[in-house]
């Protein structure tokens, strides 16, 4: 039996150049995130604050931006990796972290918490959103992803059904209870503002586990991309690969959504850009996605802070405007003979 060709990939030199360039872009995005805000600071002031030589006021201003910058790095990487995993597993170029109903599960849990307990702190919201997101992903998997043959279609349908049901529940509760809507509407847009290190600590174990599992599965996902029959002939287990990939995507998407609220298009746009730049090899796509995701999210957050200064536009709104062209491009690429 002839071994199928490996997924197309960029040359080692191009791969190294792209990874290095994206790393530099991420460093620039981090610097901008620490510099831009309602109180503008210069690069020199940021450096002085980081090294401990700035005045107390400047140090406090820059330090207040540390949590949102770190969270932007973690959430951006998680959403991009989750989107890459889901697009690869389902072979659906329009798949994103909301495919499994994770966003809807988090929203339903947050609305329920506010309805039962009243307004909650940001940290408390995370501890409600996280199990809701994980549970929704698990139910989607149990309904649609347990079997091998045809499970991709069933998984997508299961996620769509769960999202529809939970979204209807959220709307019913939020519209019938004004105090729930008043608190819920700030979380549902998606934002990096107002989150502290306690929020980061709450979701970090889930994000770390998901990222490690995603990196470990990269080679196996290449095999799965050749088709289930071919993967089985090569000695792989498509069921275990798919299950591991779905588990990793759920952990990543749930952690990011719980911490920031639903942020659209990062998980959709970044995988398309990564594959266009570096090819279809998951072993190189995954590291690049983990760098490109936070770069996009941090830059979107900086734009949101700059446009309405001294107020700010939530990052979820900015990513929606930025990601819309990528969605249009993805749909156009799907046209043509199948």
In the CATH hierarchy, which top-level class contains the domain 54-332? Answer: mainly alpha
* Residue 4 pLDDT exceeds 50: no
Q: Would you state the structure tokens that stand for residue 205, as one six-digit string?
A: 């174990």
* Residue 306 pLDDT exceeds 80: yes
At a CB cut-off of 8 Å and minimum separation 6, what does 249 contact?
Answer: 81, 82, 85, 86, 89, 97, 100, 137, 210, 214
DSSP state of 91: T
The answer to whether 46 touches 317, Cβ cutoff 8 Å, is: no
Taking the C-alpha atoms of residue 178 and residue 193, their distance in angstroms, rounded to an integer, is 23
Task: Tell which wins on pLDDT, 242 or 72.
Answer: 72
* Residue 145 pLDDT exceeds 90: no
* Residue 2 pLDDT exceeds 50: no
The answer to whether 81 touches 96, Cβ cutoff 8 Å, is: no
DSSP string spanning 308-320? Answer: TTTS---HHHHHH
pLDDT in tens, 249-277: 989 999 999 899 889 889 988 998 898 88
pLDDT in tens, 99-139: 788 889 988 998 998 888 877 777 788 888 889 988 988 88
Q: pLDDT confidence of 297, banded at 50, 70, 90?
A: very high
DSSP string spanning 3-58? Answer: PPPPPPB--HHHHHHHHHHHHHHHHHHHHHHHH-SSS---HHHHHHHHHT-S-HHH
| Residue 279 bridge partners (DSSP) | 9
Please give the average per-residue pLDDT across 35-45, as a whole number. 86
Closest CA relative to residue 247, chosen from 10, 105, 111, 89: 89
pLDDT in tens, 88-103: 888 777 788 887 888 8
Q: pLDDT confidence of 164, banded at 50, 70, 90?
A: very high
pLDDT on residue 149: 46
pTM for the model? 0.88
pLDDT on residue 22: 95
* Residue 303 pLDDT exceeds 50: yes
């Amino acid at each position: 039996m002839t071994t199928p060709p490996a997924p197309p990939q960029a040359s080692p030199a191009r791969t190294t150049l792209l990874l290095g360039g994206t790393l530099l872009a991420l460093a620039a995005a981090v610097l901008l995130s620490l510099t831009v805000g309602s109180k503008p600071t210069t690069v020199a002031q940021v450096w002085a604050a980081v090294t401990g030589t700035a005045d107390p006021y400047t140090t406090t201003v820059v330090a207040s931006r540390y949590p949102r910058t770190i969270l932007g790095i973690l959430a951006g990487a998680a959403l991009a990796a989750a989107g890459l995993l889901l697009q690869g597993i389902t072979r659906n170029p329009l798949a994103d972290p909301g495919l499994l109903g994770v966003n809807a599960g988090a929203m339903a849990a947050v609305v329920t918490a506010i309805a039962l307990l009243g307004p909650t702190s940001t940290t408390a919201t995370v501890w409600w959103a996280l199990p809701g997101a994980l549970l929704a992903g698990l139910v989607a998997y149990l309904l649609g992803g347990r079997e091998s043959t045809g499970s991709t279609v069933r998984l997508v349908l299961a996620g769509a059904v769960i999202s529809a049901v939970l979204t209807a529940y959220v709307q019913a509760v939020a519209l019938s209870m004004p105090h729930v809507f008043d608190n819920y509407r700030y979380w549902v847009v998606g934002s990096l503002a107002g989150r502290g290190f306690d929020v980061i600590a709450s979701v970090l174990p889930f994000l770390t586990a998901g990222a490690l599992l995603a990196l470990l599965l990269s080679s196996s996902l290449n095999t799965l991309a050749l088709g289930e029959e071919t993967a089985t002939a090569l000695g792989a287990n498509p069921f275990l690969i798919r299950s591991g990939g779905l588990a990793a995507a759920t952990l990543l998407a749930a952690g990011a959504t719980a911490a920031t609220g639903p942020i659209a298009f990062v998980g959709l746009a970044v995988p398309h850009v990564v594959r266009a730049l570096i090819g279809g090899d998951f072993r190189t796509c995954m590291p690049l996605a983990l760098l490109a995701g936070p770069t996009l999210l941090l830059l979107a957050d900086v734009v949101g802070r700059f446009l309405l200064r001294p107020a700010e536009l939530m990052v979820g709104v900015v990513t929606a405007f930025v990601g819309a062209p990528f969605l249009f491009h993805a749909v156009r690429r799907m046209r043509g003979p199948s």
